Amino acid sequence: MTEGKTVTVDVINQTKVPEMVHWHGFQIPPEVDGAHEEGTPMVQGLDHRRYTFTPRPVGTRWYHTHAIAGHNLQRGTYSGQFGMVVIEPRSNPARYDVEIPIVLHEWDPFFSAENAMDVEYNAFSVNGKMLGAGEPIRVKNGQRALLRILNASANRQHRLAFSGHTFEVVALDGNPVRTPRRVPVIEIWPGERVDAMVEMNAPGVWVLGEVNDLERAAVFYKEGARHETSFHIVAEK
């Protein structure tokens, strides 16, 4: 989207239960914001609703269902009803060579056997893919890459590292930081966004992923079965 340029989005609800789309991080009127408590009408089952608004401010935003999940782990942000939105300025003097969206999410949730209030997962993904299922990100030596990282989890914090590189954090939750800082690890909580610049000055194949070994391997036991998934993204240089 472009800052200040009106957009229209049609939301079609093909389920039988009410739904709602929340535009997270946007400064828009409550009737289209997507929060029921602020006065946005629900999209009723087998119905549709048109959202028209002027997107602002500039930055990394996202949209997601605002339905209450309760004990239904197929609803709310446990589901795949979300996506990243970038609001671009009208004039964009880009200070980077390549822009890489990174969306973190978990799948196949289940209530923990140890604590019925905790939710665990059998699979973790970056941009909907696990290691080996998607193409590597390819960049050229010397390029500056802007990583737009979104944690679209319902409840899970993540800590990411990029072997051979450091992150220069330039924005948090879509808003520029006053003083960019270089960090070796990014810690990101549910709903948060981190914009980080990376200097691609170390030729080779590198892995960007979760620093927690258990989550990276994603080894959980459920109903006697052992599930193994991976939580990586590969950047080839």
CA distances from 196 to 35, 95, 147, 186 (A): 29, 12, 5, 9
Nearest to 29 by CA among 19, 41, 44, 12: 41
Strand partners, 182: 168
Where is average pLDDT lowest: 135-139, 176-180, 203-207, 219-223?
219-223
pLDDT tens digits for range 141-174:
889 999 999 999 999 999 999 888 999 999 999 9
Q: Is the pLDDT of residue 221 over 60?
A: no
* Residue 211 pLDDT grade (very low, low, confident, very high; cuts 50, 70, 90): confident
For domain 7-87, the CATH class is mainly beta
What is the per-residue pLDDT for 218?
Answer: 56
pLDDT tens digits for range 5-28:
999 999 999 999 999 999 999 999
pLDDT tens digits for range 38-83:
889 999 999 999 999 999 999 999 999 999 999 999 999 999 999 9
Q: What are phi and psi of 41, to 5 degrees?
A: -65, 145
Residue 82 near residue 152, CB atoms below 8 Å: yes
Q: What is the pTM of this model?
A: 0.89
What is the per-residue pLDDT for 30?
Answer: 94
* Euclidean distance between CA atoms 93 and 145, whole angstroms: 15
Residue 24 near residue 175, CB atoms below 8 Å: no
pLDDT tens digits for range 107-141:
999 999 888 889 999 888 888 887 667 778 888 88
CATH 2.60.40.420 is held by the domain 98-236: yes
Tell me the HSE value of 225 on the side-chain side, using a 13 A CA sphere.
Answer: 5
Percent of the chain with pLDDT over 70: 89
Nearest to 138 by CA among 236, 228, 52, 229: 236
Say which residue, 230 or 144, is predicted with more confidence: 144
Residue 85 near residue 63, CB atoms below 8 Å: yes
Residue 236 near residue 138, CB atoms below 8 Å: yes
Domains of the chain, residue spans: 7-87, 98-236
DSSP structural state of residue 129: B
What is the per-residue pLDDT for 117?
Answer: 86
Residue 196 near residue 147, CB atoms below 8 Å: yes
What is the per-residue pLDDT for 215?
Answer: 63
Mean pLDDT of the chain: 87
* Euclidean distance between CA atoms 104 and 124, whole angstroms: 8
Residue 236 near residue 137, CB atoms below 8 Å: yes
Tell me the HSE value of 185 on the side-chain side, using a 13 A CA sphere.
Answer: 8
98-236 and 7-87 share a CATH fold = yes
What is the per-residue pLDDT for 201?
Answer: 87
* Euclidean distance between CA atoms 162 and 181, whole angstroms: 16
> Is 33 strand, coil or helix?
helix
